């Protein structure tokens, strides 16, 4: 493992010295230093108490949102809501997510989730990440009036997108991020216009006024069961096989969920390389027409749908179109006896 890491670091350094960096005349960018910055970023986004406003750009669409985050002894809490257009809001309390979206109010219970909650194991995740991405320091910039360090996360192959991150020099908080496609063009950007790091966030800041919903932790405020998202149950066995995954993507979840109506049982598989996430949904089509066949796109998310053995297969993720297509094409149903 250590050897592998060294090899990666060497590769990264070689790549850096070959590619011209036009950003700044700084000393040769070191992957090690970039990695250190990313560790700071993960730590900062999880442990700081902050309130801020940012703009979010997806292709031609621009909007502004506000985020409030606190981390205390009792856990992590985050409230994110739109400032323009119809009110939309996502509240995260420890491991549960409450979404208040148009046409949809859903809660994701955290209990059934197999992975440990935050904080993720930073060194382990970053180590895995470096097998598939190169880290670089590009220079310095100023965002929301704050000095930042610009870090690039470049994919080593064409199966994933790259990121550019602007991290607060002072505390490592991500103040701007850009998701870059195969042509290095931004497909999604986020930039704070204002960010305040505070020792303490007032409780009232987490009250969802626009939607009149009490967002206190679920223990003190039982959530209306009608709002519960389809409860997922972990699956040990499946008749489905994903034949081809880009290197580095590992399965982090395999659930089955059913709508409240009891209809449309769906298998949900999640694959991650620690940065990009790909979901595979498998839903039996009774007499319904397929939901999606062929490729489509939701902002930065690419999707590919196909029908296999009377099931709708839908692959979606913030990865290139070729990646979701490749995975969708490799999915097959195997009879139970075939599986070890």
Partner 1 sequence: MADKTAEQTLAPTVSGTTSPIDIIASQLSAMVDGELADEEIALALRRLSRDSDWQGRWERYHLISDAMQGHIPAALDTRFTTRIHQAVANEPPPLSIARPLPSWYKPVTGFALAASVVLVALFGLKLNQSNATFPPVASLTATIPAPATASLPAEVVALTQPAANASEPVEARLNSYLVNHNGYASRNSVNGMLPYVRMVGYQVNR
List of E strands, 162-300: 162-168, 174-180, 186-197, 232-234, 240-242, 250-257, 266-272, 277-284, 294-298
CB of 27 to partner 1, least distance (A): 25
Q: How far apart are CA 119 and CA 42, in angstroms?
A: 8
Count the Cβ atoms, other than its own, within 10 Å of residue 237.
Answer: 8
Which residue number, 216 or 322, has a Cβ lying nearer to partner 1? 322
Count the Cβ atoms, other than its own, within 10 Å of residue 252.
Answer: 14
Which residue number, 25 or 183, has a Cβ lying nearer to partner 1? 183
Which DSSP category does 213 fall into?
B
The first and second tokens of residue 156, run together, are 């080593």
CB of 148 to partner 1, least distance (A): 15
Which residue number, 26 or 332, has a Cβ lying nearer to partner 1? 332
Instruction: Please say whether the beta carbons of 88 and 101 come within 8 A.
Output: yes
Q: Give the pairing type, strands 331-333 and 240-242.
A: antiparallel
CB of 17 to partner 1, least distance (A): 22
Which residue number, 29 or 245, has a Cβ lying nearer to partner 1? 245
CB of 277 to partner 1, least distance (A): 4
Burial of 14 (0-12, 13-18, 19+ CB in 10 A): exposed
Q: H helices of 148-252, where?
A: none
Residues 6 or more apart whose Cβ sits within 8 Å of residue 10: none
Q: H helices of the chain, where?
A: 2-18, 31-47, 122-129, 321-329
Which residue number, 16 or 129, has a Cβ lying nearer to partner 1? 129
């Amino acid at each position: 493992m250590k050897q592998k890491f060294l090899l990666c670091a060497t590769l990264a350094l070689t790549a850096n010295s070959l590619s011209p960096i036009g950003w700044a005349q700084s000393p040769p960018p070191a992957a090690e230093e970039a990695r250190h910055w990313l560790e700071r970023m993960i730590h900062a986004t999880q442990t700081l108490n902050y309130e801020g406003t940012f703009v979010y750009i997806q292709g031609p669409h621009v909007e502004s949102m506000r985020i409030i985050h606190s981390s205390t002894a009792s856990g992590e809490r985050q409230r994110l809501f739109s400032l323009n257009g119809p009110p939309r809001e996502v509240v995260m309390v420890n491991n549960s997510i409450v979404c208040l979206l148009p046409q949809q109010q859903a809660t994701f219970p955290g209990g059934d989730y197999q992975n440990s909650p935050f904080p993720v194991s930073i060194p382990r995740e970053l180590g895995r990440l470096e097998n598939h991405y190169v880290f670089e320091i590009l220079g310095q910039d100023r965002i929301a009036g704050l000095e930042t360090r610009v870090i690039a996360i470049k994919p080593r192959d064409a199966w994933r997108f790259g990121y550019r991150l602007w991290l607060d020099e002072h505390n490592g908080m991500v103040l701007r991020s850009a998701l870059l496609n195969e042509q290095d063009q931004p497909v999604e950007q986020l930039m704070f216009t204002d960010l305040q790091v505070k020792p303490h966030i007032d409780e009232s800041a987490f009250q969802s006024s626009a939607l009149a919903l009490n967002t206190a932790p679920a223990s003190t405020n039982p959530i209306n069961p009608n709002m519960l998202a389809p409860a997922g149950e972990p699956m040990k066995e499946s008749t489905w096989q994903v034949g081809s995954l880009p290197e580095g993507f590992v399965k982090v979840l395999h659930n089955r969920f059913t709508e409240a109506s009891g209809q449309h049982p769906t298998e949900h598989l999640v694959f991650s390389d620690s940065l990009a996430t790909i979901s595979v949904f498998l839903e039996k089509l009774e007499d319904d027409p397929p939901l999606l066949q062929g490729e489509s796109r939701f902002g930065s998310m690419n999707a590919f749908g196909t029908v296999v053995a009377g099931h709708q297969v839908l692959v979606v993720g913030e990865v290139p179109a070729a990646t979701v297509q490749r995975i969708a094409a490799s999915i097959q149903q195997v009879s139970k006896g075939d599986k070890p």
